[in-house]
Amino acid sequence: MAKVKGAIVIDVERCKGCCVCIPACPQDVIQIVKEVNGKGYQYAFPANHDACTGCINCAIVCPDGVITVYRVKVES
């Protein structure tokens, strides 16, 4: 059966660390890092990337549009 695997790319320099993407993710993929970006924001990071299904929920709620999403079908 086919399984979907996803990946997200976060433009960390434009991320404001608002965390709205975190509850939007059904797989708990995203966390906020301790470091800050050039603007001084702690930014989002796909800490649990393996669980990502590429559902785009995080990307569509992101107010700053910093998340790009990729998805593939993998035969298991």
Residues 6 or more apart whose Cβ sits within 8 Å of residue 32: 17, 19, 22, 42, 43, 44, 45
CB of 2 to other proteins, least distance (A): 13
The pairing of strands 42-46 and 30-36 is antiparallel
CB of 75 to other proteins, least distance (A): 11
End-to-end CA distance of the chain: 6
CB of 35 to other proteins, least distance (A): 16
Is residue 51 at the binding interface for other proteins, with CB under 8 A as the rule?
no
Give the footprint of other proteins on residues 11-50 (CB under 8 A): 14, 16-20, 22-24, 41, 49
The pairing of strands 67-75 and 2-10 is antiparallel
Q: Which residues bind other proteins (CB under 8 A)?
A: 5-7, 9, 14, 16-20, 22-24, 41, 49, 54-57, 59-72, 74
